[in-house]
Amino acid sequence: MSSQATQAVPKAEGRIGWIESSLGGIAASIERAVFTEEHARSAGWLQGIDPRAKLAMFLVVVLAVSFTNSVIVLLAVYLVLLAAARASLLPFDFFVKRVWLGVPFFAGLVVIPALFLVPGPRLFSVDVGPFSIALSQPGVAGAILFVTRVGVSVSLAVLLVMTTPWADLLKSLRAIHVPQIFVLILSMTYRYIFLFLHTMNGLFLARKSRIVARTSGGEQRRWIAASMGNLTSRSFKMSNEVYAAMMARGFSGEMRAWSDYRMTVPDWLALGGALLLAGAALAAQRLLP
């Protein structure tokens, strides 16, 4: 009995608690954001392009990808994106994993019904009692096209975000006449996310510093519910204080940035290259499957 007890102690001590797991998740979220912002300010190719030109390039290529019905063309566009990511000094594995670890799963959930409901030739059929499950060949082709299209579109968005500081991206949205209230909400949401993460991190650290023994599940649930209410109350109070501080500093409803942009020859060339890529993708889909 004593030997079994001594063997069970290290397992209990080595197990990671829910507070440690929450702190690790908060720290990982902040680290990913800082990591992305660092790459947005590095000396890569896309980092040197005017943010307005990058946003226009993104919109043009995304529209072309949305209207492309050829997997081969989509893969060719993705190869161009990989080359642009390499020229922009982005970590290759990070760029690829950030997209393809989640896209197949979430996009696959959307197209699962189409695999069986789309009419056409069947790849195989399995009888399950009175029902017959048959995989549709057009459904599989459509699912592959859908997942590939979503992956390329998300890769474009990740490439834009990882090579453009958030403030510059918001200013670029105003340059294409996105409604001011929409840009303001995006800006405040982005800042509040990190502010709430910092507040939650303080709550978890305070809780961890005051715990000397393992707590019961009911006590942990009561503390989580109380913390959620506390965080909600703080958010309302903080919103009023932030608004009062903004008005006291002369806020007029327009988001302003210190950076002043001017389109140069490389910016126009990059935008022209994006237009050529979009046109080539739309033209090539008529020739390729």
What confidence tens digit (pLDDT) does each residue in 54-97 have? 999 999 999 999 998 889 999 999 999 999 998 988 888 878 88
Among the ranges given (44-53, 91-100, 123-132, 212-221), the one the predictor scored with the smallest mean pLDDT: 123-132
Distances in Å between the Cα of 67 and the Cα atoms of 81, 182, 199, 212, 284 are 18, 27, 44, 60, 12
Distance CA 88, CA 121 (A): 45
The 10s digit of each residue's pLDDT in 103-119 is: 777 777 888 877 777 77
Q: Tens of pLDDT along 225-284?
A: 887 787 788 777 877 887 788 788 877 766 666 666 788 898 999 999 999 999 999 888
Closest CA to 57 of 281, 271, 276, 279: 271
How far, CA to CA in Å, does 108 sit from each of 1, 97, 113? 51, 17, 10
The pair phi, psi for residue 233, each rounded to 5°, is -65, -40
Q: What does the pLDDT read at residue 36?
A: 61
At residue 24 the predicted structure's pLDDT band, cuts being 50, 70 and 90, is: low
Q: Supply the pLDDT for residue 79.
A: 94
Q: What is the pLDDT of residue 200?
A: 75
User: DSSP secondary-structure letter at 41?
Assistant: T
How far is Cα 181 from Cα 170, in angstroms, rounded to an integer? Answer: 12
176: its two tokens? 């294409």
Average pLDDT, the chain: 78
Token pair, residue 273, equals: 């290259």
Encoded amino acid at 272, one letter: G
Separation of alpha carbons 64 and 151, rounded Å: 14
Is 99 exposed, middle or buried (CB count within 10 Å of its CB: 0-12, 13-18, 19+)? buried
Dump pLDDT digits (tens) for 150-186. Answer: 999 989 988 898 888 887 888 888 878 888 888 888 8
What's the chain's length in residues?
289
Contacts of 69 (CB under 8 A, 6+ apart): 145, 285
Which residues partner with 199 through β-bridges?
none
Cβ-based neighbours of 26, under 8 Å, separated by 6 or more: 197, 200, 201, 204
Q: What local confidence, expressed as pLDDT, does residue 203 receive?
A: 75
Domain ranges of the chain: 28-284
Range from 49-53, 89-93, 124-128, 245-249 that averages highest in pLDDT: 49-53
- The one-character DSSP state at 46 is G
**C-alpha angle 122-128-129 in degrees, rounded to nearest 5:** 130
| pLDDT score at 260 | 67
Phi, psi values for residue 214, rounded to 5°: -70, 130
- Model confidence at 214: pLDDT above 90: no
